[in-house]
Amino acid sequence: MKTNENQHENEVEVLVTGGTGLIGRWLLAELTKTRRVAAIVRRAGERGPELRGFIDAHGGDSSRLLIVEGDVEQPSLGLTAGFDQVRDVYHLAALFAFGLGADEVRRCNVDGSLHVAAWALARPALRRFVFLGGYRMMHSSVEGAAEGPLPEAERAALYRDHGAYEASKHDAYRRVRSFAAGHGLRWTAVHPSGVIGDSRTGETTQTTGLGATVEKLWEGRLPALVGTERTFLPLVTVDYLARFLASVPERAETMGQDLCVLDQATPKLPALVRDIAAHLGVAAPTRVLPLGLVRALPQAITGLAPESLGFLTEDAYDTTAADAHAAATGLVMPSIDVAVQRWCDYLVATRFLAQPGGDRGALREGAYHVGDPVTADVVYLHGLPWNGDAWKPVADRVGGSSARVDLPGLGRSTPSDLDDVAWLDRLLAQRTRPVVLVGHSLGAAMAVRYAHAHPGKVRGVVLVSPAFLQPAAPAYVKLRPLVALTLRRSTSADLARRLLPEQAGAPLGAPAVASARVDLQRKGVASRIARSLAQATSRRVRATLRRQLDELEPGVVLVHGSRDPLEIATDRVVYVVDGAGHAPHLTRTDEVAAIIAAFAPAPPS
């Protein structure tokens, strides 16, 4: 048995199954603040370091955690003797997915639950066995469930009508309830609703369920909702649920109770989706299709797993017992409206968990940014077809307080009817001191326009590859449909060859290239880039920008690559980066960062 060097099985007070899941890892972080905990994990040696890192990063203490190789599908959980001091056992492990086979799901969710219950019963110091069910359990009949498991005919119908996952949860609940009654097991069932990210940060590890709906909404692939205007899909944040679970064994009054944990303030589903759409700055679906109609259509048309439709009901749920426990322990649910926004920000920032290690950004009135533009010393504005990620290497090297902004309708920002100056003015409206603007190409144009309109609000401007001072783009750039199609069909390798031609092999800017390509697949982004490229070639636009640059106060420097020269002479300070092309901040990051750092030192405090 592999053990933590600071922990031994006979010192463990709490055992948790499913500790690597969304709920489990937040629960482990909560429990290890004060208690010695063991987590049963498959491939413990492989997964342990990441789990310990998560716990330490989320307020727990991994030195109090013992990670044990085990498997709930085995009658003994794969454990040897020991764990005699365990007082509380949390069973969270479950196979969660739609479209699974009934036998596979039953082995984990039903048989596994009984294995854990029996193991808990054998602990001489057991105080409580906490079983994680689901809020839909509270809509089934719980009266008389202790008399025995479902009759075989009813069980078969349950799996046929509800699908393997949902049926297995009902099945497991009935069987564990019956086991507890027959063997005197001290237990509590906790039934959470749909679980979203941390109320403080939005962080999550899964998108199954509503998260998948948000992703479709974000990508413009959600033409309609299913159900009615009264469909209720309740939510709870993972951090609140973890605190609730950790507190359950502390009160004797919860023994034998069914505690349904959900936020009754969750808006009805159509209203919830409209609120999310407004926050993301995307169009909300205007149609709500009847459930019966969608059930009758093939999954290939609807794109919905038939099992998922069982959650789209108008049912209400009794949370009286859970609310009483929360009140007795001082637990207060966070604002669900704010939590949903932060969760959506996290999903967008991580590209719906495809890049979970990326910087955490946020949406404010449709503008996506990493860092706070209101307090940052430096605000970075990207060019085409990039997004704010293109400035990350430079911003990290320059350091200090900065914000990287996705321009309107590009990257992860939503389209806007405002012009450049009004859009940026709204973003920076609450600032109390002047800002340094660093813009690349299209972003350089925005910086010039804003500094010209509001000279008192700008402390300095760095223009990297200002396209309006360089040779005009070829005439074919004005063929917007062709340009948009080419961008959408481009691979990362294609983009790297076109945008960073001075780089051989894997470019230094590969992460920025990959990030830009992801955005190009989002509905409308490629077309908006093509439109902006065409507008940028206008002689009138270029002449206006040159005039505005000439009229700016001192405090402007220009940076360009030697392979991407200026065609217009200027009396401003100009830095030429040898060997670089149109994106020197990606291919000669250190040199560009040094220029910006020297030009824009932190303002006096």
**Alpha-carbon gap, residue 217 to 336, rounded angstroms:** 19
Question: According to the model, what pLDDT value does residue 163 have?
Answer: 74
Decide: 517 and 495 in contact? Cβ < 8 Å: yes
Question: According to the model, what pLDDT value does residue 158 have?
Answer: 76
Is residue 585 included in any domain, yes or no? yes
Band of pLDDT at residue 505, cut at 50, 70 and 90? low
Question: According to the model, what pLDDT value does residue 571 have?
Answer: 85
Band of pLDDT at residue 345, cut at 50, 70 and 90? very high
- Phi, psi (rounded to 5 degrees) for 448: -65, -45
Q: Quick count: other Cβ atoms within 10 Å of Cβ 221?
A: 10
How do 402-405 and 367-370 pair as beta strands?
antiparallel
The three-point CA angle 309-232-276 to 5° equals 95
- Alpha carbon of 308 to those of 210, 264, 282, 594: distances in Å? 10, 21, 24, 53
Ordered DSSP codes for 349-377: HTTTTTSTTSPP-EEETTEEEES-TTT-S
Q: Quick count: other Cβ atoms within 10 Å of Cβ 194?
A: 18
Decide: 467 and 536 in contact? Cβ < 8 Å: yes
Tokens found for residue 603: 């303002």
Band of pLDDT at residue 53, cut at 50, 70 and 90? very high
Is residue 492 included in any domain, yes or no? yes
Decide: 315 and 268 in contact? Cβ < 8 Å: no
Where would I find the H helices in 510-574?
Answer: 510-520, 525-536, 539-551
Per-residue three-class SS string for 147-163: HCCCCHHHHHHHHHHHC
Tokens found for residue 138: 């509270």
Decide: 280 and 363 in contact? Cβ < 8 Å: yes
The three-point CA angle 55-33-7 to 5° equals 75
**Alpha-carbon gap, residue 593 to 585, rounded angstroms:** 8
Helix (H, G, I), strand (E, B) or coil at 62: helix
| Residues 437-477 pLDDT 10s | 999 999 999 999 999 999 999 999 999 999 999 998 888 88
| Residues 176-204 pLDDT 10s | 999 999 999 999 999 999 999 999 999 99
Decide: 58 and 50 in contact? Cβ < 8 Å: no
Q: Residues 6 or more apart from 182 whose CB is under 8 A from it?
A: none
Average pLDDT estimate for 108-116: 92
CATH number at residue 372: 3.40.50.1820
Is residue 412 included in any domain, yes or no? yes
| Residues 477-500 pLDDT 10s | 888 899 999 999 999 888 988 889
Is residue 513 included in any domain, yes or no? yes
% of the chain residues with pLDDT over 70: 92
**Which residues are 462's β-sheet partners?**
438, 557
Q: What is the count of structural domains for the chain?
A: 1
pLDDT of 24 > 60? The answer is yes
More confident residue, 105 or 427: 427
Q: Across all residues in the chain, what is the average pLDDT?
A: 89
Is residue 521 included in any domain, yes or no? yes
Question: Sign of dihedral through CA atoms 486, 492, 493, 496?
Answer: positive
Q: Is the peptide bond before 434 cis (omega within 30 degrees of 0)?
A: no
**Alpha-carbon gap, residue 500 to 590, rounded angstroms:** 16
Q: Which helix (H) or strand (E) holds 269?
A: helix 269-280
Is residue 381 included in any domain, yes or no? yes
Question: According to the model, what pLDDT value does residue 96 have?
Answer: 76
- Nearest to residue 225, comparing CAs of 268, 280, 165? 268
Band of pLDDT at residue 243, cut at 50, 70 and 90? very high
| Residues 121-134 pLDDT 10s | 999 999 999 999 99
**Alpha-carbon gap, residue 379 to 461, rounded angstroms:** 10
Q: Residues 6 or more apart from 599 whose CB is under 8 A from it?
A: 436, 460, 462, 557
- Phi, psi (rounded to 5 degrees) for 130: -105, 115
- Phi, psi (rounded to 5 degrees) for 417: -85, -10
Decide: 459 and 432 in contact? Cβ < 8 Å: no
**Which residues are 66's β-sheet partners?**
38
Is residue 89 included in any domain, yes or no? no
- Residue 526: domain span: 359-599
| Residues 373-397 pLDDT 10s | 999 999 999 999 999 999 999 999 9
Which DSSP symbol is given to 11? G
- Nearest to residue 540, comparing CAs of 445, 439, 443? 445
Report pTM: 0.87
**Alpha-carbon gap, residue 299 to 98, rounded angstroms:** 12
Average pLDDT estimate for 104-121: 92
Q: Which residues in 398-531 belong to E strands, given as ranges?
A: 402-405, 435-440, 458-464
Query: Which residue in this structure is represented by tokens 């969750």?
Result: 266
Decide: 451 and 437 in contact? Cβ < 8 Å: yes
Is residue 157 included in any domain, yes or no? no
pLDDT of 241 > 80? The answer is yes
Band of pLDDT at residue 137, cut at 50, 70 and 90? confident
- Phi, psi (rounded to 5 degrees) for 476: -65, -15
- Nearest to residue 5, comparing CAs of 41, 50, 48? 48
| Residues 551-605 pLDDT 10s | 998 899 999 999 999 998 888 999 999 999 999 999 999 999 999 999 876 555 5
How do 88-91 and 14-17 pair as beta strands?
parallel
Q: Residues 6 or more apart from 153 whose CB is under 8 A from it?
A: none
Give the least confident one: 225-234, 245-254, 311-320, 344-353. 311-320
